Amino acid sequence: MTRNTDKSSAKQPQLRAIELFAGVGGFRLGLEASGWEVVWANQWEPPGTPARQFAYDCYVERFDSANLHPEAHSNRDIAAVLDDVKAGEYEIPEHELLVGGFPCQDYSVAKPLSQAEGIRGKKGVLWWEIYRLLEMKEPKYVLLENVDRLLKSPVKQRGRDFAIILACLAHLGYGVEWRVVNAAEYGYPQRRRRVFIYAEKLPKHIEWDPAERLVASGVLARALPVAEREHFEVDHASIITDYLELPPDVYEVSNTIGLERRTSPFKAAGIMTRGHVWTRALTPVTPKRLVTLGDVVKKTKKVDESFFLDEASFERWAYLKGAKSEPRVNRASGFEYRYSEGGMSFPDPLERPARTILTGEGGTSASRFKHVVQAADGKRLRRLTPDELEELNGFPRGWTNTGMSDVKRAFCMGNALVVGVVERIGEQIRADAVMLPTRT
């Protein structure tokens, strides 16, 4: 991917974006490639000690070469930053687009759903800082990313968390599109499923046609085409399958949506305008040839010996990757139960896109979830290198090689997103925004 650094066009206004929970800059790379200028970014990991700020340090190092002034970096708790904005002691630049992959530990795919705490959890409260910033700055466009579990959490009230987000955006005057995207289905080398939430400030006289917006004219529909568009003109009425009307008060939403349901009311795609929600699953238009893990691995010419599996650990790796059905005992309660799980490919198939990169991908210890591939010599097995993990997410190789360890580099990629998906969406938001007068 090539970064777009041309900001000299006289025909189109330079549209500005700010980035929350920036990590190592995946959103920014995608936005720059699609013509946006990122004018401010926030990245902070509690408890705020230097040892925990390796992602921020990487972000600063990579983007300082773009003449980003120190004032445009923020390495503080976003809640404290917004307190200072409210008090008139700090200023966030004007912008047309707010983006962020807000922290998702409460909805992490690495935890059982029954343990997900939802929007009221320790990390979920950060949604309210996004809400505060939207109230303060009123950007025209918003693009957020999270794990797809957000649509169905928490376990005791399916869909409540996402309903709260939709209700908040409706209260602020935004229309919303969302889509669960498997990056591999759009030509990227990783099967990473994430929900992208696009919101647009709607004038009172504007109404969206939900079916048309969902499969044809919407930002996400144009960026990520779906097969249903082919039948849209002929069978318009069948495009929308489920409808939901949100209560006007967010508190009521919190206490009513998802009660007495086994499944979430929210499908993998949908539209919301003024509290009215239409939702359904969609079928991606997939390229004839998928980009595979092998396409990435074959570019690696030299691999450090530390990435190869040693014979002493091979049995442990095989056990963790294999199918199981065995008795276990809960340490806290003493309750005996049978634990079962299916087997995983070992090694990972090179002829398919990679599995989702997780934060625990780094380190030499055996793991069920780390990728293991056949080495080029055909004789040994090895883990993926940080450079390969970066390319699987669409980052330039070596992007996180800024002094952090291989374990931390892998952690950053587990927290990252697929840059090319952001670039696609950014292009379509910009296409709608070029006629918007920029604010000063």
Known catalytic residues are 104
Closest CA to 14 of 77, 104, 132, 96: 96
**ω into 103 cis (within 30 of 0):** no
User: 32-55 burial string, b = 16+ CB within 10 Å, else e?
Assistant: bbbbbbbbbbbbbbeeeeeeebbb
Q: Which of 244, 234, 238 is nearest to 282 (CA)?
A: 238
User: What region does 201 belong to: left with phi over 0, alpha with psi -120 to 50, or beta?
Assistant: beta
The stretches of 364-418 forming alpha helices (DSSP H) are: 386-392, 406-414
Place of tokens 């003449």: 67
Q: What is the DSSP string of 181-246?
A: EEGGGGT-SB--EEEEEEEEE--TT----HHHIIIIISHHHHHS-BGGGGGTTTSGGGS--EEEE-
Provide, for the chain, the percentages of residues in helix, strand and coil under a 3-state DSSP scheme, each rounded to the nearest 5: 35, 20, 45
Query: Distances in Å between the alpha carbon of 81 and those of 8, 48, 78?
Result: 32, 14, 5
What is each CA distance from 155 to 8, 162, 257, 264, in whole angstroms? 50, 13, 12, 9
Give the integer Cα–Cα distance in Å for 417 and 27.
8
Yes or no: say if 141 and 90 are a contact pair by the CB < 8 Å rule.
no
Residues forming a β-bridge with 252 = none
Length of the chain: 440
**DSSP 3-state of 65:** coil
State the Cα–Cα distance between residues 35 and 16, nearest whole angstrom: 9
Please report where in the chains the tokens 């291989």 appear, as a residue. 406
With vertex at residue 344, the alpha carbon angle to CA 341 and CA 348, rounded to the nearest 5 degrees, is 165
Residue 384 to residues 308, 389, 416: CA-CA distances in angstroms?
9, 7, 16
